[in-house]
């Protein structure tokens, strides 16, 4: 399956080389690798994905687009994780009692992170196999930020 931008017409169809599928899927895997290293710091995942995106700015549109979508997907999770870590440290340092709201929020953040982790693995696998995966809200933002003819 080939990735095409916009309406598929024979004149506008852009072919993707097989090695580009693997490079594009690696943008999603950067976040998973960063989880192993940076579990205590939520921003590490975003930085790993951002560094991968910046290192592929001269690559094809397909690779840049998927690398940027991976960065934006990570940015959505950061505020939730940051609040969870901040709240946890505040409870530890102030010797406060753990409230029901804290437990519910931590449970929500864990479910959100597990869902994101599974979605990233599935997306990476599909992109590696040549399927174009567009995340619901993130894809529209990625389209606005990443233009096919823009080299920056």
Q: Which two tokens stand for residue 67?
A: 């690398």
pLDDT at position 35 is: 60
Q: Which two tokens stand for residue 56?
A: 């592929």
pLDDT at position 136 is: 87
Nearest to 126 by CA among 87, 81, 78, 70: 70
Euclidean distance between CA atoms 22 and 41, whole angstroms: 27
pLDDT at position 105 is: 96
pLDDT at position 121 is: 86
Task: Provide φ and ψ at 67, rounded to 5°.
Answer: -65, -40
With beta carbons less than 8 A apart as the criterion, state whether 61 and 5 touch.
Answer: yes
pLDDT at position 11 is: 46
pLDDT at position 83 is: 92
pLDDT at position 116 is: 84
Q: Which two tokens stand for residue 9?
A: 């017409």
Question: Running along the chain, 152 residues long, what does each successive block of 10 average in pLDDT?
Answer: 40 64 74 60 79 88 89 89 90 87 94 87 87 88 82 56
Q: Which two tokens stand for residue 44?
A: 């590490």
């Amino acid at each position: 399956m080939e990735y095409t931008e916009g309406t598929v017409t024979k004149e506008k169809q852009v072919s993707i080389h097989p090695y580009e599928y693997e490079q594009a899927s690696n943008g999603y895997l950067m976040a998973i690798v960063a989880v192993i290293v940076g579990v205590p710091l939520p921003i590490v995942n975003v930085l790993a994905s951002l560094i991968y995106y910046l290192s592929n700015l001269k690559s094809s549109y397909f690779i840049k687009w998927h690398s940027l979508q991976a960065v934006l997907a990570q940015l959505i999770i950061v505020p939730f994780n940051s609040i969870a870590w901040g709240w946890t440290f505040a409870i530890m340092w102030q010797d406060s009692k753990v409230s029901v709201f804290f437990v519910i929020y931590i449970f929500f953040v864990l479910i959100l992170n597990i869902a994101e982790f599974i979605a990233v693995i599935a997306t990476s696998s599909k992109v590696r196999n040549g399927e174009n995966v567009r995340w619901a809200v993130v894809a529209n933002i990625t389209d606005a930020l990443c233009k096919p003819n823009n080299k920056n």
